[in-house]
Amino acid sequence: MPYKLLSKSKYLSGLQCPKFLWIQINEPERIPETDPVTQYIFDQGHLVGELAKKVFPGGIDIPADDFMGNIKQTKELLEQRNPLFEAGILAEGIYSRVDILNPSNENSWDIIEVKSTTGVKDVHLDDVSFQKYCCEMLGLKIEKCFLMHINNRYVKEGEIYPEKFFTLEDITGEVEESSNGIQDRIADMLEVISAPICPETTIGKHCSDPYDCPLSECWAFLPEYNIFKLYYGGKKSFDLFSNGIITINEIPDSFKLNDKQRIQQACEISGRPHVDGEGISNFLGTLQYPLYYLDFETIGPAVPLFDGTRPYQAIPFQFSLHVAENDGTRPKHFSFLASGTGDFRPTFLAELKNVLGDTGSIVVYNQGFEEGILKELAIMFPEYDDWITSVRGRLVDLLQPFRQFHYYSPLQKGSASLKNVLPALTGKGYNELDISDGQAASIAFQAVTYGSVSEEERNKVRADLEKYCALDTEGMIWIVERLEGLCE
């Protein structure tokens, strides 16, 4: 076996960035440990992969934990002409594991790549073209290539039917196109990984396209208030960076910024917040007591858990509600955190209806999110339709004054999200919490609800979830108080 193999995942890394490829092979210790969100995505992918195998009865699962054993077994099984799962293909310094190798006409095979996405992406074509090349190098004849991805219109009713859950797309033609020049690309990459020195590559859009590169060390040279913190900077930030501009302060007047970005720049230069008293006043004028500060947390599993739900549909499992009856009264706190593994949406709705009075504004942060959840609940539980319609009519979005830049502090670092606004405006934040963002909450809830964990761990995580969601709504109260203070 050659010392430095180019595997499929390394080939994709190499297409994204030669530096990343070289580090993965030669100095993998520089790569940070997989973060929980990425791990969760991998785990979901694994679950989906297992489901896909059911579409091919009689398929043989080739154990993948023994690298050489997997390759040897694959060679032996190719003779039998059964569908093969996790077939290991090693040929002349390149290596690939094929999700499903399915026998087709005569002596040829089809490659079926299983993805937990809901469509075909360019990177999938590169992925499959590498697999096809490996197979052909080994002497296999590849007839067709398919991408088997999740059907986003699938609605669970009873058990999951894999044949309906997946969409099988014939991508043979697209893979053929992606294969143009693959031999040269592989040769270049084999040269990169054999080189004694890491190639120099500067940061750029490729760092998050098609995947987020985990090597944060490449970005570490940037100062805290750098050009990539420009509000919705996107292409502008990269253009400025390629012209040697590193901080927002340095952006020349001649460079076209929108009004919000100009405000941001002025704040960076002055070091002081921007306050549009009239805009804030107008926003505060829309609030009507009693005020209900509301926040939802959701899960969105790739494989639906409950009847009537689709893949990746956001399912609410928790809410926090702070109720301020009048100006100056101490807010009361109510919360709901689902327990048990059954469909918790009916209880969620009943509990919410119980504590959400009939009048007064319902303050949320990023209205589209909570409203989207409510709309879907109304479809699934039509008995709540009228009530949900009235609730939606009372929603007020606390994100708006920040999105509109009625207030902007340089401490927000170019973001209007609650996680940035709360500390910037009040000095309080999420640093002390073990769960400090929605994705972490979602993953933690699923782990302690559907995974096997000790009672102690489950209780600890559930307490952390309560603290996290409560801070989201209490934080909104503090923000409104600060905005009121700015208008006095």
Tokens representing residue 480 in the block: 């409104």
Cα separation, 346 vs 343, in Å, equals 7
Q: Which stretch binds ligand SF4 (CB under 6 A): 13-21, 259-267, 383-391, 432-440?
A: 13-21
**218 makes contact with ligand SF4 (CB under 6 A):** yes
Provide the minimum distance between the beta carbon of 214 and ligand SF4 in the complex, in angstroms, as a whole number: 8
Q: Decide: 482 and 411 in contact? Cβ < 8 Å.
A: no
Q: Which stretch binds ligand SF4 (CB under 6 A): 25-33, 159-167, 213-221, 305-313?
A: 213-221
Distances, alpha carbon 273 to alpha carbons 182, 269, 413, in Å: 53, 10, 12
Cα separation, 309 vs 298, in Å, equals 13
Neighbouring residues of 403: CB distance < 8 A, sequence distance ≥ 6: 416
Q: Which residue has the tokens 């080939």?
A: 11
Task: Closer to ligand SF4 by CB, 19 or 260: give it.
Answer: 19
Size of the site for ligand SF4 (CB under 6 A): 11
Provide the minimum distance between the beta carbon of 29 and ligand SF4 in the complex, in angstroms, as a whole number: 14
Residue type, 100: I
Binding mask 170-209 for ligand SF4 (x = CB under 6 A): -------------------------------x-x--xx--
Q: Which stretch binds ligand SF4 (CB under 6 A): 14-22, 90-98, 102-110, 280-288?
A: 14-22
Taking each helix axis from N to C end, the angle separating 455-487 and 277-284, rounded to the nearest 10 degrees, works out to 120
Task: Closer to ligand SF4 by CB, 7 or 201: give it.
Answer: 201
Neighbouring residues of 379: CB distance < 8 A, sequence distance ≥ 6: none
Which of 210, 137, 143 is CA-nearest to residue 176? 143
Q: Which residue has the tokens 């829309």?
A: 286
**89 makes contact with ligand SF4 (CB under 6 A):** no
Task: Closer to ligand SF4 by CB, 16 or 298: give it.
Answer: 16
Q: Decide: 83 and 56 in contact? Cβ < 8 Å.
A: yes
Residue 328 Rama label (left phi>0; alpha psi -120 to 50; beta): left
**215 makes contact with ligand SF4 (CB under 6 A):** yes
Provide the minimum distance between the beta carbon of 134 and ligand SF4 in the complex, in angstroms, as a whole number: 24
Which of 94, 114, 120 is CA-nearest to residue 102? 114
Provide the minimum distance between the beta carbon of 204 and ligand SF4 in the complex, in angstroms, as a whole number: 7
Per CB under 6 A, the list member of 12, 14, 15, 20 interacting with ligand SF4 is 20
Q: Decide: 175 and 145 in contact? Cβ < 8 Å.
A: yes
Backbone angles phi, psi at 363, to 5 degrees: -95, 125
Q: Write the DSSP symbol of residue 247.
A: B
Q: Which stretch binds ligand SF4 (CB under 6 A): 11-19, 177-185, 258-266, 316-324?
A: 11-19
Provide the minimum distance between the beta carbon of 414 and ligand SF4 in the complex, in angstroms, as a whole number: 20
Radius of gyration of the chain (CA): 26
Residue 397 Rama label (left phi>0; alpha psi -120 to 50; beta): beta
Task: Closer to ligand SF4 by CB, 17 or 465: give it.
Answer: 17
Task: Closer to ligand SF4 by CB, 3 or 221: give it.
Answer: 221
**19 makes contact with ligand SF4 (CB under 6 A):** yes
Q: Which stretch binds ligand SF4 (CB under 6 A): 181-189, 210-218, 226-234, 250-258?
A: 210-218
**9 makes contact with ligand SF4 (CB under 6 A):** no
Task: Closer to ligand SF4 by CB, 14 or 360: give it.
Answer: 14
Provide the minimum distance between the beta carbon of 215 and ligand SF4 in the complex, in angstroms, as a whole number: 4
**10 makes contact with ligand SF4 (CB under 6 A):** no
Q: Name the helix (H) or strand (E) containing 484.
A: helix 455-487
Residues that bind ligand SF4 (CB under 6 A): 16-17, 19-20, 201, 203, 206-207, 213, 215, 218
